Amino acid sequence: MSNFIPKAWAHLQDDILPRDAVIAIDGPAGSGKSTTAKALAKRFDLLYIDTGAMYRALTLAALQASVDCTNEEVLVGLASKAHLELKTGRGEIAVFWDGKDVSAAIRAPEVDAMVSLVASHPEVRTIMVRHQQILGRRGGVVMEGRDIGSVVFPLATSKVFLHASLEARVDRRFKQNQQRGHEISRDDLTEDLAIRDKKDSERATSPLAISPDAHVIDSSHMSLEQQNDACALACLVNPALDLELDTDYAKSRPTIPFKYRLPFTFFHAVSRFFGMKEYNSAGKAVPSGCIVACNHVSLWDPPLVGSTFRRYKINTLAKESLFKIPVLGSFLFYIDGIPIKRKSFDKDAFAEASKSLLEGNNLLIFPEGTRRAIGHPGPVRNGLGILVQATRAPMVPIFLRGTHGRKPLGSDLSPLESNYGPVIRWHGLEALLEEFDRKVVSRRIADLCLAVFEEMQDRSYQRTPQTDFEKDLGARQLKKVAAREKIVFGR
Ligand code: DC
Which conformational region is residue 206 in: left (phi greater than 0), alpha (psi within -120 to 50 degrees), or beta? left
Of residues 13 and 306, more confidently modeled? 306
What is the distance in A from the centroid of ligand 1 to the CA of 429?
A: 24
**What percent of the chain is predicted at pLDDT more than 70?**
92
List the one residue out of 65, 143, 133 whose CA is nearest residue 97: 65
Ligand 1 atom nearest residue 26's Cα: 18
pLDDT for position 2: 46
Substitution site in 25, 38, 115 for ligand 1 pocket (most atoms within 8 Å of beta carbon): 115
pLDDT digits 0-9 by tens, 390-404: 999 999 999 999 998
116 Cα to the center of ligand 1, angstroms? 7
Calpha distance 235→231 (Å, rounded): 6
**Mind listing the pLDDT tens digit for each residue in 419-448?**
999 999 999 999 999 999 999 999 999 999
Separation CA 438–CA 424 (nearest Å): 19
Model confidence band, residue 5 (pLDDT cutoffs 50, 70, 90): low
14 contacts: CB under 8 Å, gap ≥ 6: 1
Contact present, 48 and 217 (Cβ < 8 Å): no
| Residue of 22, 51, 55 to test ligand 1 pocket, by largest number of atoms within 8 Å of CB | 55
> Identity (one letter) of the amino acid at 78?
L
Q: For position 253, what pLDDT does the model report?
A: 60
Residue 188 · residue 173 · CB < 8 Å? no
The confidence score (pLDDT) of residue 375 equals: 95
Q: How much is the pLDDT for 314?
A: 86
**Which atom of ligand 1 is the closest one to the Cα of 147?**
18
- What confidence tier does 408 reach under pLDDT thresholds 50, 70, 90? low
Burial class (CB in 10 A: 0-12, 13-18, 19+), 247: exposed
Mean of all residue pLDDT scores within the chain? 88
Domains of the chain by start residue, with CATH = 6-243 (3.40.50.300), 249-489 (3.40.1130)
Closest Cα to atom 5, ligand 1: which residue?
A: 52
Distance 89 CA to ligand 1 centre (A): 20
Is residue 216 helix, strand or coil?
strand
Mean pLDDT within 363-369: 94
pLDDT at 259: 85
Give the nearest ligand 1 atom to 148 CA.
18
Q: Whose CA is nearest to atom 10 of ligand 1?
A: 116
Question: Could you tell me the distance, in angstroms and rounded to a whole number, from the CA of residue 200 to the centre of ligand 1?
Answer: 8
Give the pLDDT band of residue 342 (cuts 50, 70, 90).
confident
Tell me the CA distances in angstroms from 23 to 9, 155, 235, 452, 491, one per residue in order.
19, 10, 7, 16, 40
Mean pLDDT on 409-418: 82
Expressed in angstroms and rounded, the spacing between residue 321 Cα and the centre of ligand 1 is 48
Digit-coded pLDDT (tens) for 207-257: 888 999 999 999 999 999 999 999 999 999 999 888 877 766 666 665 777
Per-residue model confidence (pLDDT) at position 132: 94
Q: Which amino acid residue places its CA nearest to atom 11 of ligand 1? A: 116
What pLDDT does 8 receive?
56
What is the C-alpha R_g of the chain? 24
Q: What is the pLDDT of residues 460-480, one digit of tens each?
A: 999 999 999 999 999 999 888
State the pTM of this model: 0.91
* 5-9, 310-314, 378-382: which is most confident: 378-382
pLDDT at 9: 54
Task: Yes or no: say if 455 and 153 are a contact pair by the CB < 8 Å rule.
Answer: yes
Atom of ligand 1 nearest to the CA of 33: 1
Q: Is the pLDDT of residue 4 over 90?
A: no
State the distance from the centre of ligand 1 to the C-alpha of 55, rounded, in angstroms. 6
Ligand 1 binding pocket (C-beta < 6 A) is 29, 51-52, 55-56, 115-116, 119, 145-147, 196, 200
CA of 289 relative to ligand 1 center, distance in Å: 37
pLDDT in tens, 275-291: 888 898 766 678 889 99
143-159 pLDDT tens trace: 999 999 999 999 999 99
Query: What number does the ligand 1 atom closest to the CA of 199 have?
Result: 10
> Could you tell me which residue, 296 or 306, shows the higher pLDDT?
296
Instruction: State which ligand 1 atom lies nearest to the alpha carbon of 120.
Output: 15
Cα atoms in the 13 Å half-sphere on the side-chain side of 179: 8
Interval between CA 147 and ligand 1 midpoint (Å): 9
Phi, psi for 462 (deg, rounded to 5)? -70, -35
> What is the spatial distance between Cα 121 and Cα 286, in angstroms, rounded to a whole number?
40
Largest CA distance in the chain: 78
Residue nearest to atom 13 of ligand 1 (CA): 52
pLDDT, residue 248, reads 64
pLDDT at 271: 87
* Antiparallel, parallel or unpaired: β 291-294 and 395-401: parallel
Question: Residues 6 or more apart from 69 whose CB is under 8 A from it?
Answer: 59, 62, 63, 75, 114, 117, 118
Of the candidate ranges 50-54, 113-117, 195-199, 333-337, the one whose mean pLDDT is the lowest: 195-199
Distance CA 159, CA 149 (A): 6
Banded pLDDT at 410 (limits 50, 70, 90): low
53 Cα: distance to centroid of ligand 1 (angstroms):
7
Of 68-72, 104-108, 208-212, 303-307, give the lowest mean pLDDT range: 303-307
CA angle 308, 310, 316 (to 5 degrees): 75
Distance 51 CA to ligand 1 centre (A): 7
Measured by CA distance, the residue closest to atom 3 of ligand 1 is 29
Distance from Cα 27 to the centre of ligand 1, integer Å: 9
Position 352 scores a pLDDT of: 96
Cα separation, 210 vs 82, whole angstroms? 31
Mean pLDDT score, 51-64: 95
DSSP string covering 341-393, please? -SSS--HHHHHHHHHHHHTT-EEEE-TTSS---TT------THHHHHHHHH--
